[in-house]
Structure 1
Amino acid sequence: MGQPSITVERWEGLECAAQLDIVLPMYKEIWVEPPYREGPREIAEFVDRFAQEVFLPRARLVVARADGLPVGYAFGYPLPPDTGWWKAMEEETTPEFAAETGHRTLGIVELAVRADRRRRGIAARIHHHLHDGLGVERVTLAVRTEAEAAPAHAAYAAWGYRRIGSWRPGDGKPVSDIMLLTL
């Protein structure tokens, strides 16, 4: 039995919204796992956030399929000039570093692969297809700390990311590391 055939599809803008029925089952399956352990409230927050973010200029969704079945996805958008992304970091940034134009930095807000399909290069393919052709200078994402999400950190480091700071989304919420890849 050979390796499954992996295909990658990409949608932009409002086309992404029509793919929620593909993404949501993967989201529910992947993000309930440790260290995330998301429940009904977080899933509802994802649906609400996704419904808003598809309206952002140049929003993109990428879905990987193995033999036709969805196995992973990524979603992101170039950070708009009024982004709060860098302000959310606990570390200080310079105005030059934090200046966004809507074309400078791709913010990845979702990147996930089903557990039985990990460590096969699928996440790297999805990642590449997400930023390919956007013309951005850099890519950023938030990931749980290395102590909680060592495999993700290892993958991002292998792709060239470096940790530049940390972010706490709210009281009682876990800390995430902010990672940056310069293209």
Structure 2
Amino acid sequence: MTQQGTITVERLDGSAAAQVEDAFRRVYAEAFAEPPYNETADDVAATFRRFRSQTRKGTFRAVLARAEDGEPVGMAYGYPLGPNTGWWDQLTEPVPHDMRREDGRRTFGLMEVAVRGPWREQGIARRLHETLLDGLDAERVLLNVHPDSGAASAAYRAWGYRKVGEARPWEGADLHDVMVLNLR
């Protein structure tokens, strides 16, 4: 099933994203309930506890795609990584010091990109990604992707990301590919 019609993509700061948390939660819960993620209601609740904290960062940015009737169909969000980020510490093999050096501006951490099933394969994820990164003053973007998510991995590679390592992003998580997109 595919959905037709106009899709709008709106960029939001943290406070605006927090006000429409339910829309982000709906997209996330539906997209990540599927394999290989198989996230439960408890997993979604934990993600949105973090989301609330993340939206309070002054550098947080998000995008939300909606159908003509206002229904949320896709989302993406993230923020620049601070000097004390633990992201690089999660890698199974260390990377060179220069790669892991962060200053709060160098690397944008792309936390989530998701599109609900009926709206996939219409270029919405690419639009979300491009809108989120538009005007970003960073050297690169960093993300984790489940290697069994073939469509997501393929999209990231097509957009110019390259794998730099593997990590377990949280306790008990499957191994994820860590990918970087150089913006300059």
TM bucket (normalised to shorter chain) is over 0.9
Which residue of the partner structure matches residue 20 of structure 2?
19
Distance verdict in 2 for CA 1:171–1:76, change over 3 Å: closer
Residue 16 of structure 2: SS of its match in structure 1?
helix
Q: SS at the partner of 2:105?
A: coil
Tell me what 1:158 maps to. Answer: 158
Q: 1:163–1:178: 8 Å Cα contact kept in structure 2?
A: yes
2:108 corresponds to which of 82, 106, 109: 106
For residues 30 and 4 of structure 2, the distance between their equivalents in structure 1, rounded to whole angstroms, comes to 23
Other-structure match for 2:122: 120
What is the percentage of aligned positions where both structures have the same residue?
Answer: 44
Q: CA RMSD in A?
A: 1.5
CA contact (8 A) 1:57 1:78 kept: no
Q: Provide the C-alpha distance between the structure 1 equivalents of 2:99 and 2:155, rounded to a whole number of angstroms.
A: 24
TM-score by length of 2: 0.92
TM-score (norm 1): 0.93
- The aligned amino acid for 2:17 is C
Aligned to 1:134: 136
2: CA distance, partners of 1:172 / 1:11 = 32
Checking the alignment, whether the CA contact within 8 Å between 2:26 and 2:72 is kept in structure 1 is no
C-alpha distance in 1 between matches for 2:121 and 2:4: 14
CA-CA distance at 1:170 after TM superposition: 4.4
| Count of equivalent residues | 180
Deviation at 1:66, TM superposition (A): 2.2
Q: Given residue 45 of structure 1, which amino acid in structure 2 is its aligned partner?
A: A
1:82 is matched with 84
4+ residue runs over 6 A deviation: none
Could you list the runs of 5+ residues in structure 1 that have no partner in the other structure?
none
Amino acid at match of 2:112: E
8 Å Cα contact 1:81/1:101 also seen in 2: yes
Distance 2:47 2:159 in 1: 26
CA separation in 1, counterparts of 2:136 and 2:42? Answer: 33
Cα distance in 2 for residues equivalent to 1:59 and 1:131: 12
